[in-house]
Amino acid sequence: MKFWQKLVAVFIGVCMLAVQLPVSAGESDAPDITAEAAIIIETSTGRVIWEKNADERLYPASMTKMMTGILALEQLNMRSEIMMSREAAYTESSSLGVLAGERIRTDELLNGMLLESDNGAAVALGEAMAGSVTAFAGVMNGKAAELDMKDTHFVNPNGLTEKGHYSTARDMAKLARYAMENKAFREIVCQPQRTIHWTSPHTKIFHAHNTNKLLEKYEGMTGIKTGWTQAAGGCLAVGAKRDGVELIVVLMKTPTPDDRFSDAKKLLDYGFEHVRMVKGISQEKGYRKVWVTNGQQASTKLYPARDINYPLINGEDKSKYSIRYEVPKIVEAPLKAGTPVGKIVVSYNGKDVEHVDMLADDVSSGFSIGSWLVKMFSWAIRLV
């Protein structure tokens, strides 16, 4: 009898484990797709919902421009002008038509690159940041390392096929997730179309259309970036949001350009069917009190930058989520409201999955008895 009880217990345990693990390709309800590699992640945590050959190194094609785009937003003045070099102007598949020697504002060039997938625009942006394509590839690889993109190596800023230029679905999902945290990037890639202007030496316009055919056709679509070359096949990174759940799908090497869109719809549908969001901690209840030195008050409150909700994948248990506060015990005035001071770390089953900034209230510098006492006894406070 004991043997059968143990056997049943093991069986139940295996079943419970299966419920809590992300589904991989080949399981009974896995989406039927043409892509050689693919992944679905939940955006707020980056947790994997489903994957297929997600660590296979493949050509990423123009999904590469996500890296060029986010670096441009982080490093360049969007209102400055870029003069188109001969190398940039004569790069293949440069549909905007900015000629060598012409000047165009950085934000216009960036929009043209991300919507129309202009290869020359990517070269021009890379040159503006690092002086040359080769030097900029080094910047890209440095950022890739920062984002823990372990199976990625960039050679150019646009994704044209070159030896040594590769990535994986998993790494591209990390990049897409990071880029979509940038408000300006998110606003660009969700545009169905935009008129690109440049005025030097003559006024010109180009009507750019987003190459992402799912925009305005798939409910909740938020972007992100297409890719296609003969060697890479169809590549696509897309995001969508419904009922508080936001997903990112990356797929690589579909047989035809249209297959990437039909595959993405299947993967997004699958993801939304297998994830639900539950309430975690609100901004109002997630505050922490900290002491203040050199201020007009002795203490202040830090608040989460946003409400924290928990994605449950394949029927997971909310109780496996936990949080910890990584905030200082003492802060120094002045502090401007909204200044990040520490963070909340969200974990699932003991693994860190999300960081949320803790933001300060407005704290003016000055003098108060309480703040003076905090400074006097700061050594003791830190020991508590």
Give pLDDT tens digits for 303-319: 999 999 999 999 999 99
Give the confidence band of 27 by pLDDT, cuts at 50, 70, 90: low
117 counts as catalytic? yes
pLDDT value for 29: 78
pLDDT value for 10: 41
Q: What is the DSSP letter of 368?
A: -
The domain boundary, picked from 219, 248, 277, lies at 277
Spell out the residues 6+ positions from residue 134 whose beta carbon is closer than 8 angstroms to its own.
none
347 counts as catalytic? no
Same domain for 42 and 185, yes or no, is yes
pLDDT value for 276: 94
In a domain, 118, yes or no: yes
Same domain for 291 and 337, yes or no, is yes
Give pLDDT tens digits for 72-116: 999 999 999 999 999 999 999 888 999 999 999 999 999 999 999
pLDDT over 80 at 15, yes or no: no
The domain boundary, picked from 277, 293, 325, lies at 277
Which of 117, 253, 265, 343 does the annotation list as catalytic?
117
Mean pLDDT of the region 53-79: 98
Give pLDDT tens digits for 126-157: 999 999 999 999 999 999 999 999 999 999 99
93 counts as catalytic? no
Same domain for 184 and 73, yes or no, is yes
Same domain for 176 and 245, yes or no, is yes
Which of 44, 52, 65, 371 does the annotation list as catalytic?
65
Give pLDDT tens digits for 31-54: 999 999 999 999 999 999 999 999
The domain boundary, picked from 228, 256, 277, lies at 277
In a domain, 19, yes or no: no
pLDDT over 80 at 17, yes or no: no
Give the confidence band of 275 by pLDDT, cuts at 50, 70, 90: very high
Please state the domain count of the chain: 2
pLDDT value for 13: 46
Range of the domain at 349: 282-383
pLDDT over 90 at 377, yes or no: no
Among 18-22, 30-34, 116-120, 324-328, name the one with the lowest average pLDDT. 18-22
pLDDT value for 352: 94
CB 176, CB 46: distance < 8 Å:
no
pLDDT value for 20: 44
Burial code (b: 16+ CB inside 10 Å, e: under 16) for 211-248 equals: bbbbbeebeebbbbbbbbbeebbbbbbbbbeeeebbbb
Q: For all residues of the chain together, what is the average pLDDT?
A: 92
Same domain for 333 and 266, yes or no, is no
- Residue position matching structure tokens 């350009």: 257
> Looking at residue 224, which CATH number applies to its domain?
3.40.710.10
Which of 62, 94, 167, 371 does the annotation list as catalytic?
62
The response to whether 150 counts as a known ligand-binding position is no
Same domain for 139 and 75, yes or no, is yes
Same domain for 230 and 299, yes or no, is no
In a domain, 110, yes or no: yes
Same domain for 203 and 297, yes or no, is no
Same domain for 297 and 271, yes or no, is no
> Looking at residue 290, which CATH number applies to its domain?
2.60.410.10
Same domain for 217 and 346, yes or no, is no
CB 89, CB 99: distance < 8 Å:
yes
